Amino acid sequence: MNFQATIGGLVWSSCLLAAAGSTVHAEPVDFQTDVAPLLQVRCLRCHNPRDHRGGLSLQSAEEAREGGESGPVIEPGDAASSYLLDLLMPTDGKAEMPKGEAPLTSAEIEIIRRWIDEGAVWPVEEVIEPPRLWSLQPIARPVVPAAEPGPAGFPIRNPIDAFVADRYRLAGLKAAPPADRRTLIRRLYLDLTGLPPSPSAVSAFVTNSSPQAYEALVDRLLSSPHFGERWGRYWLDLARYADSEGYLGDALRPHAWVYREWVINAINRDQPFDRFTIEQLAGDLLDDAALEQKVATGFHRNTLRNTEAGVDLELYRTKEIIDRVNTTGMVWLGLTLGCAECHDHKNDPISQTEFYRMYAFFNNANDVGVPVTRHWEIAEYEQRLRAWRPAWDQLVGELQSFQQQDVSAEQEEVIAESLADDGVQFDWKTIVDSYRTQDAGWDALKAKVDTHLKKRPAAPKTRARAFAERTKDRRETFVHVRGVYTRRGAKVGPGTPAILPPLATQSKEPDRLDLARWLFHEDNPLTARVGVNRIWQHLFGYGLVSTPNDFGNQGAKPSHPLLLDWLATEYRRAGWSRKAIIRRIVTSSTYRLSSAANAVPSQEHVSNRMLWRQNSYRVSAETVRDLQLTASGLLDRTIGRRGIRPPLPAFVTEVGRSVKWPVSEGGERYRRGLYIFFKRTVPYPMLMTFDAPDSTISCSRRERTNTPLQALTLLNDPVYYECAQALGRQIDQQHPDDISAAIDSLFLRCLGRPPGGEERTVLITAYQDLLRLSEGTAPQPHEDSAVRTAALVAVARVVMNLDEFITRD
């Protein structure tokens, strides 16, 4: 029987009991309306036939009478002797049961006491079902709250604001004022592209009086190719992307970048999230799968791989598949499936058998390489070849001077073929009989030819990491007893957890394509909720559910459940368009609020879970680098392509095993942090200092720490010092005789705003002090451009080390 509908009655009964105090109860306790809902909500999560913590189940009368490991817990007619009451009674505000939760109220305990004293009547046919987890409830589109005027200064621009304002009223909160336009444009640029706005872009937006100026800015940023870089980085965290295998050997994955490029391109063209998912989980299984759909399956090729000699290959193959199951569960379902690898899940209704049914989907996916050639690779190759060719042509001419005079037409044709095609087919055997090889100089020329041929640029041979389904000798899947792959339990086939809608398939055995489509079935309540929650998280710092990878019993409950479900249905209605749902959110009044903690003085110590203001937080590790490069004018904005290697001290690369770090040349070294080559055993130090994930497992939310190392990195990192030098030189060239204008320019480029009066005074004083310190080395330091530049570089370092510079407000 389902007791969900009686929970409201339980609350009402509790209120009456609390009000009645010690009055005589005329009516006996009713099991169905009073006791069963209480047991369902507070006890059944742990004490059911599947989990039976302490050997106790309270789902049926028979199980309750049996008791648990400590014996019977209910003595009908004698509450004082019933162990259940001892467990429920709080001492100093804490009770032994429910474990890890708030104790039952005195009114609730009184219900249990009276029920036991009255004989603990429990009809045999009454079986209590455990409460259904909130996230597993079907998604229904909520009614948008009435469009009443929002709090002062908080216009209701769209349904998001209506839901948020409704919570303001219930909590008695005021909304913060809207952020100023300079803050808004910087917030939008950082959130949507990960790059700061230029001073001219800020000025144009601040002075634009059009009522559609904000929406036009949003649309322009959503169309920017840098949008795919910013939001692609979020997805790469989930995909545990790296450029090496991991473990001790940590061999390189030189072509892993092909998958990263696919992600950026797919997000830029706003590929619907359902299609985005299907191609990554099962692109190879689509009818007439195209090259890019096969490249997309690189998502699950990002797992660690142990390439050490002598390792148990089957053990590590199973570890890769387990990681794929865990990642799939976390990324799309928000479930910790990995907790069921060795035994049934302790907190959520997921069995170990169900874990290995998910495992079966990936057990016959073979790792393959797919040949890929990008147009820019061909262009780079042809450019290198053109640089190589003149010396080759000269050597061919010298070779021909050794050719004998009496060569037949057939021999000449063979020789021509060998010398043609830039030496690709060059073979000494085909020409040596037709040349005067005993002449002086032949051996030296031959050595020169051999040396130059070794320098010939190699044609691109990129192979993307992908999946291909095993068609012959297919592997069977068994439950791993206690998680040990050599201890085979029951044989299982592909399947999904029973707590979710059944899997539909038209084939004999479900495959990865069926799994991917099942994730987006209209009856699946998790995928849409989890997806929009992540989008919200990236725009506010925290999701509506603060545990983005755990929508289970141990995870947090949504702060705005109705808003979450409205957004989930909106995501579906928008055809799973990422850009459409982002536009909805960022055009709301909620998104545009000030992030100042004291924006409403009376609420400055109130938690922001009710969204009465925006959140202020440090930008991601990659964006810290991008801000420096952009402000200095050094940023190379090339999209996609292979990774880069910025300069690293030698002692860093000496730590790893067989670590080679050829520093990228020219402007390429100034590309965005997204493209830094990520070697798992020796990750780029600056990224780790600013909390980039280590890419060993999927990361749904980065930590944000505040450490002295971060300040020291900003001050001393060679790349950042170079940025300050470049910025100082440019500012000096623009304003050689006006330090006030120079400081204005510094602030506008770095912070998007002019300096305040005190800030200007402090920096002018610092600049003048630096000039005076140089008096001993220059007769007229204020006229010496090198001294001026050095002083401005120092001032630039101050501004680029401000907390505001790396903070998104």
- Cα-Cα-Cα-Cα torsion 187, 192, 196, 199, nearest 10 degrees, comes to -80
Q: Residue 196: phi, psi to the nearest 5?
A: -80, 155
Of 479, 483, 526, 481, which Cα lies nearest the Cα of 501?
526
- Kindly state the DSSP code that residue 142 receives in the 8-state scheme: P
Q: Going by C-beta distance under 8 Å and a sequence separation of 6 or more, which residues neighbour residue 438?
A: none
pLDDT at 230 > cutoff 80:
yes
pLDDT digits (tens, 9 = 90+) for 434-444: 888 888 888 99
Query: For residue 256, which of 172, 178, 372 has the smallest C-alpha distance?
Result: 372
User: What is the average per-residue pLDDT within 537-551?
Assistant: 97
Amino acid at 508: K
pLDDT for 13 equals: 36
Average pLDDT, the chain: 91
Lowest mean pLDDT among 4-18, 211-225, 226-240, 510-524: 4-18
Contacts of 260 (CB under 8 A, 6+ apart): 232, 236, 241, 640, 674
Tell me the pLDDT band of 775, cut-offs 50, 70 and 90.
low
Task: Report residue 223 as tokens.
Answer: 């169309």
Could you tell me the pTM of the whole model?
0.89
780: pLDDT confidence band, cut at 50, 70 and 90?
Answer: low
pLDDT higher than 90, residue 399? no
pLDDT at 357: 98
- The label of the residue with tokens 């725009």 reads 539
Return d(Cα 622, Cα 233) in angstroms, integer: 9
**Phi-psi label, residue 576: left if phi above 0, alpha if psi -120 to 50, beta otherwise:** left
Mean pLDDT value of segment 367-396: 94
Per cent of the chain over pLDDT 70 is: 94
Sign of CA dihedral 229, 233, 236, 242: positive
Please list, in sequence order, all residues whose beta carbon lies within 8 angstroms of the beta carbon of residue 326, skipping any fewer than 6 positions away.
336, 337, 338, 341, 697, 698
Which pLDDT score, from 0 to 100, does residue 16 have?
30
**Distance from C-alpha of 649 to C-alpha of 652, rounded to nearest angstrom:** 6
Least confident of 70-84, 770-784, 794-808: 770-784
Q: What is the pLDDT of residues 677-728, one digit of tens each?
A: 999 999 999 999 999 999 999 999 999 999 999 999 999 999 999 999 999 9
> For residues 800-809, b (16+ Cβ closer than 10 Å) or e, as one string?
beeeebbebb
Q: How far is the C-alpha of 460 from the C-alpha of 223, rounded, in Å?
A: 31
For range 637-648, the mean pLDDT? 95
3-state secondary structure of 553: coil
CA distances from residue 801 to 183, 469, 612 in whole angstroms, order as listed:
19, 51, 30
Cα 4 to its chain centre, rounded Å, is 36
For the cut 50, the answer to whether the pLDDT of residue 6 exceeds it is no
The first and second tokens of residue 529, run together, are 């909720």
Burial (CB count <10 Å: 0-12, 13-18, 19+), residue 227? buried
Label residue 467 exposed, middle or buried (CB < 10 Å: 0-12, 13-18, 19+). Answer: buried
User: Is the per-residue pLDDT at 10 higher than 50?
Assistant: no
User: Under a CB-based contact definition with an 8 Å cutoff, are residues 229 and 672 in contact?
Assistant: yes
The answer to whether the CB of 464 falls within 8 A of the CB of 341 is no
φ/ψ of residue 488, rounded to 5: -80, 130
Task: Tell me the C-alpha distance between 499 and 503, whole Å.
Answer: 11
| pLDDT at residue 15 greater than cutoff 70 | no
> pLDDT tens digits, residue range 293-349?
999 999 999 999 999 999 999 999 999 999 999 999 999 999 999 999 999 998 899
End-to-end CA distance of the chain: 51
Residue 396 has pLDDT above 80, yes or no: yes
**Residue 218 and residue 586 in contact, taking contact as beta carbons nearer than 8 Å:** yes
pLDDT of residue 25: 58
pLDDT of residue 508: 86
Contacts of 561 (CB under 8 A, 6+ apart): 134
Q: Determine the pLDDT at residue 151.
A: 66
Secondary structure (3-state) at 478: strand
Q: How many CB atoms lie within 10 A of CB 424?
A: 10
Q: Write down the pLDDT at residue 2.
A: 42
> 19 pLDDT exceeds 80?
no
d(CA 530, CA 700): 11
Residue 656 has pLDDT above 80, yes or no: no
C-alpha separations of 117 from 39, 77, 120 in Å: 17, 4, 7
d(CA 338, CA 352): 9
- Per-residue pLDDT tens over the stretch 180-202: 999 999 999 999 999 999 999 99
- Residue 402 confidence (pLDDT): 86
Identify the burial level of 114 via C-beta atoms within 10 angstroms of its C-beta, where 0-12 means exposed, 13-18 middle and 19 or more buried: middle
Q: For 49-63, 104-118, 225-239, 741-755, which range has the lowest pLDDT when averaged over its residues?
A: 49-63
* Distance between CA atoms of residues 126 and 134, nearest Å: 23
Pairing of strands 477-480, 488-492: antiparallel
- State both tokens at 262: 């696919």
